Amino acid sequence: MKIIGLAEIQKRLADIDVIAAVEKCFADYSSGKIINPPPGELIFKDPPGDVHIKYGYNLTSNYYVIKIASGFYDCDPRCQGMMLVFSRQSGKPVALLDDQCHLTNIRTAAAGAIAAKYCAPRVIKRIGIVGSGVQAQLQLTYLRKVLDCNNVIVFGRNKEALAKFQPQCAITTDIEELAATSNMIVTTTPSHIPLLNLSHIKPGTHITAIGSDTPDKQELTIDILQAGDVIVTDSKQQAQTRGEIAHALAKQVIALDKVVEIGEIINGNAVGRENDQQITIADFTGLAAQDIAIAEAVYSNTAPI
């Protein structure tokens, strides 16, 4: 079994088109080509944290992948993890990717870029990033690969973390200021209390919510989902039990048939944004399919170990 450390993983990523790999995995997932069981998770109260176990395989692949990733929010670094690659023919472990959660962060950022590619308004007036951590930084990096917008504002409560975004971005501790001036918003926090409500949101805004990946996290009030013209998810199966959509379904303010998968839009089987007056919401809870795609890409890369 090969053990591939973080430094080598980062070298290999330089030769991989992560956005293309994740976009293909979304398309494959919605086409029924990926075995993606419900995730396992452990939730901790003291200290606060959560661990996600995601696993599966692509029907066209020779491997299966198991990913373990954790977030302990009072710790530094907050996130840790690894991905395990096994032969699908023998069950033999072929690689341990000691990525320290980097691959999870990267594939999540790529998903945000894909959501923007298919759902963002044609004219981006300003990008608003809710959160000031590693994922906020990566979302901005990957958004700039697909969007032409240099006007960015970042919201956070930690002034030291916010300062890292200057001078390239405006910063604020007032989320209403962010919402009032942005028509493309990405939420990246582990909040259990909604940060944005409908009164904050302007017509024509797109929101990508990626922080709410467990049943008890929530960044948006359910009235935002109710007002959404297009609601997109990575997995309708997962959306029924976790994320922003699950909260709205539980309160019966939306029906599941209003929700489409990003893979369905990529495959041309569903419609995303149709005009710049629509409110669109992409609620992604993270798929094993993404972990499979990025782990196999890193493992298969021919860079020396």
Instruction: Give domain status of residue 305, yes or no.
Output: no
When divided into structural domains, the chain yields a total of: 2
Q: Are residues 185 and 39 in the same domain?
A: no
Q: Are residues 89 and 179 in the same domain?
A: no
Q: Are residues 279 and 294 in the same domain?
A: no
Query: What pLDDT is recorded for position 302?
Result: 57
Instruction: Give domain status of residue 187, yes or no.
Output: yes
Q: Are residues 282 and 293 in the same domain?
A: no
Q: Which one is catalytic: 33, 54, 67, 117?
A: 67
Q: Residues in the chain, how many?
A: 305
Concerning whether 67 is annotated as a catalytic residue, the answer is yes
CA of 291: how far to CAs of 6, 7, 53, 111, in Å? 16, 18, 11, 11
Residue 62 sits in a domain whose CATH number is 3.30.1780.10
Instruction: Give domain status of residue 80, yes or no.
Output: yes
Q: Are residues 98 and 159 in the same domain?
A: no
Amino acid identity for residue 57 in this structure: Y
> pTM for the full model?
0.94
For residues 57-62, average pLDDT? 95
* Kind of pairing between the strands at 49-58 and 63-72: antiparallel
Are 115 and 282 in contact by the 8 Å Cβ rule? The answer is yes
Residue 132 sits in a domain whose CATH number is 3.40.50.720
CA 213: distance to chain centroid? 9
Q: Are residues 207 and 164 in the same domain?
A: yes
**Domain span including residue 184:** 114-286
For residues 24-53, average pLDDT? 95
Query: What pLDDT is recorded for position 304?
Result: 41
Instruction: Give domain status of residue 152, yes or no.
Output: yes
Question: What are 141-198's pLDDT values in tens digits?
Answer: 999 999 988 899 999 999 999 999 999 999 999 999 999 999 999 999 999 999 999 9
Q: For the chain, give the percent of residues with pLDDT over 90.
A: 95
Q: Are residues 44 and 191 in the same domain?
A: no
> Is residue 305 predicted with pLDDT exceeding 70?
no
User: Quick one: DSSP state of residue 220?
Assistant: B
Q: Are residues 122 and 252 in the same domain?
A: yes
Q: Are residues 124 and 257 in the same domain?
A: yes
* Kind of pairing between the strands at 40-44 and 49-58: antiparallel
